[in-house]
Structure 1
Amino acid sequence: MGGSSFAKEAAITLDQARAAATKAQPGTILDQELEHRKGGSGLRYSFDIKVGAITHEVGIDAKTGTVLQNSAEKR
């Protein structure tokens, strides 16, 4: 997982973020990272979640657990 140096800044755990992401977009998590990015608190867990033939990017705010993004990735 990228961003392990950011983990101490996160208020929610990776497991909590994974649960929020798969609740927002049920499917199989293919990739995950913790990164600084605009929006929300500025720190987010990003997940690539496969649903059938489509991969969705789901962003979870690492400080509040809020879903910041849930969109199909363009190929």
Structure 2
Amino acid sequence: MRKSYLASILFCLTLTGAALTAHASPATSLDAKAVVKMPEARNIALKVYPGKIVKEELEKEAGGSGLRYTFDIKSDAGTHEVGVDAKDGKILENSVEGSDKD
């Protein structure tokens, strides 16, 4: 009985690990392509618009190198979206969150 219990636990852990690996793969792939890493990009964004980062992501998007970090930064004045190029660290966007970007 104990062996089957342990086998069940190991099986569940294996499935959980496989699911986590499959879920992390796309982000990991983008992370590998980024020259500027997330901590450095955070610092760049916070110098442009000081506040608290409430959302962050690395994504493929038109403009710059095509790979950017996007940060939603909240302060007393409101929330801004700041985009940082993941290849060279240049600012690609600094706008009020929710404003028309066109």
Using structure 1 for the length normalisation, give the TM-score: 0.91
Between structure 1 and structure 2, the one with the greater Rg is 2
Q: Distance in 2 between matches of 1:44 and 1:4?
A: 14
- Give 1:35 shift: 0.2
In the alignment, the residues of structure 1 paired with residue 28 and residue 39 of structure 2 have an alpha-carbon distance, to the nearest angstrom, of 14
Percent sequence identity over aligned pairs = 50
Unaligned residue ranges in structure 1 (runs of 5+): none
Deviations 1:39-71, CA, capped at 9 Å, x for gaps: 000000000000115110000000000000000
> Is 1:66 equivalent to 2:98 in the alignment?
no
Asked if the contact 1:4–1:34 (Cα under 8 Å) also holds between the matched residues in 2, the reply is: no
Gaps of 5+ in 2: 1-25
Q: CA deviation at 1:5?
A: 2.6
Provide the residue aligned with 1:19 in structure 2. Answer: 43
Q: Which has the higher contact order (CA 8 A, sep 6+)?
A: 1
Q: What is the TM-score of this pair, normalised by structure 2?
A: 0.68
Please state which structure has a larger fraction of its residues in strand.
1
Query: Which of residues 25, 43, 48 is equivalent to 2:72?
Result: 48
Q: Does 1:5 align with 2:13?
A: no
